Amino acid sequence: MSYLLTLFDKTPRRIRVVEGILQAKRTVTNLFWGQCYGLLPYLGADRHLKRATYDTWLQSQAAKGNLLIDQQMAWLTPQGLSVKQAWQTEHYQPQFGQWTWLANWQQLANRVLLALQLVSEYQHHNRRFAPLPVSFKDKVAVRQWFLQQSSLIGQELLKELTSYLTALEKADPRLADLFVFQLIGHETAGWTEAEAARRLAVARQDLFWMERDMWLFLAHSLWQQTGTLAALVQPLLAPSPLPKSVQTTVEAWQRGYSLAEISRFRHLKIGTVREHLLQATILVPEQVPVMKVLPPQIVARFAEQYQGSALTWQFQAQTNDPGLEFFYFRLLQIKAAQTVGKDGEDEFGSHR
């Protein structure tokens, strides 16, 4: 849990946003503030994080003098900032979080490890072995994949894995070593966690992030490729950072349909359609440029209504359609977050 301190800063951050990002809760609020905090690379990093565990950790850090907590906000004390910086210096730092949207890396790992175990035993003509303890769904998927492969599956996998490991070694040799010695096959048990930490000269808690990186790297390597291993993992890979329903809404908007029209023919609430576009402006801004959604008169009115940086605005409904008003309000905040320059100013010239 010590890594959690690195997700906070000396300026206040929303406690539930940090939690939601780790758990892969893709609400607009989590995505927006997660982007502002620079935490989107951690999306889904700890899907099984329990609130009770998280809250207990928060209180322990406050008791140690590392965090200050006020209602639903928390920020680092000078001591906490020092602890964070020390952790970042002494421990492995995630490298490939930009691909976190590609897959649930733990499910991908389970499927690949079981498949490689199965092929290893097959190559040694061994029909009796204890398979890795993965879900029934993953076992069925691996079995179906295996039955569709040729008798040359061992050679094909060796070639593909060699290519992957060569690229991974160039990125970080430790990750390539960890991948190889994590494999379980015929008369091969792989490294224990303690042995892996010792061999790689890292702390045991760093192994989680190293494993996540090597599987995200594999997911990206196989994304939109063909081949034996790609056929196994393709069903687990997302075609876009956007969920399918969100992508459908975006494509309809790009074809010129209004939000009301999309709501009608997709049988979605208008609020849901708006949320879809907000997600897209955050995750794939090139597909939904903010200013194409914002009427110029709205921009002018909000600039008069609110003072300072848009990122510090507190929403105040001024019309009889607060849902639409908040949609525009959040779009302006997203625009501000995207246009903050190196000098720390947003498009209104206000400091963050």
The CA distance from 41 to 99, in Å, is: 7
Question: Where are the alpha helices (H) located in the chain, listed in sequence order?
Answer: 15-22, 28-36, 51-64, 78-90, 105-123, 136-147, 153-171, 173-180, 193-200, 206-222, 228-233, 244-254, 259-265, 270-283, 290-293, 296-305, 322-339
Q: Is the dihedral of CA 60, 63, 65, 71 positive or negative?
A: positive
More confident residue, 347 or 133: 133
Render pLDDT for 314-326 as a digit per residue (tens, 0 to 9): 888 888 889 999 9
Question: Which pLDDT score is estimated for 291?
Answer: 86
pLDDT at position 348 is: 43
pLDDT tens digit sequence for 66-102: 999 999 999 999 999 999 999 999 999 999 999 999 9
Q: What is the mean pLDDT of residues 281-302?
A: 89
| Confidence grade of residue 352 (pLDDT, cut at 50, 70, 90) | very low
Is it the case that residue 12 has pLDDT exceeding 90? yes
Average pLDDT over residues 18-26: 94
Distance of CA 242 to the CA centre of its chain: 12
Give the span between the Cα atoms of 133 and 114, in whole angstroms: 9
Task: Give the range with max mean pLDDT: 123-127, 204-208, 340-344.
Answer: 204-208
Distance CA 103, CA 98 (A): 12
pLDDT of 221 over the 70 cut? yes
pLDDT at residue 346 is higher than 70: no
Q: What integer best gives the mean pLDDT of the chain? A: 90
- The predicted model gives 219-233 an average pLDDT of 90
Q: What is the pLDDT of residue 317?
A: 82
- Split at pLDDT 50, 70, 90, the class of 236 is very high
For residue 345, pLDDT beyond 80: no
> Do residues 189 and 117 make contact, with C-beta atoms less than 8 angstroms apart?
no
Quote the pLDDT of residue 342.
37
The model's pLDDT over 120-178, given as tens digits with 9 standing for 90+, comes to: 999 888 888 888 899 999 999 999 999 998 888 999 999 999 999 999 999 999 999 99
The predicted model gives 223-250 an average pLDDT of 91
pLDDT beyond 80 at 339: no
Average pLDDT over residues 197-222: 93
* Residue of 275, 281, 326, 244 whose CA lies nearest to 27: 275
- The reported pTM is 0.83
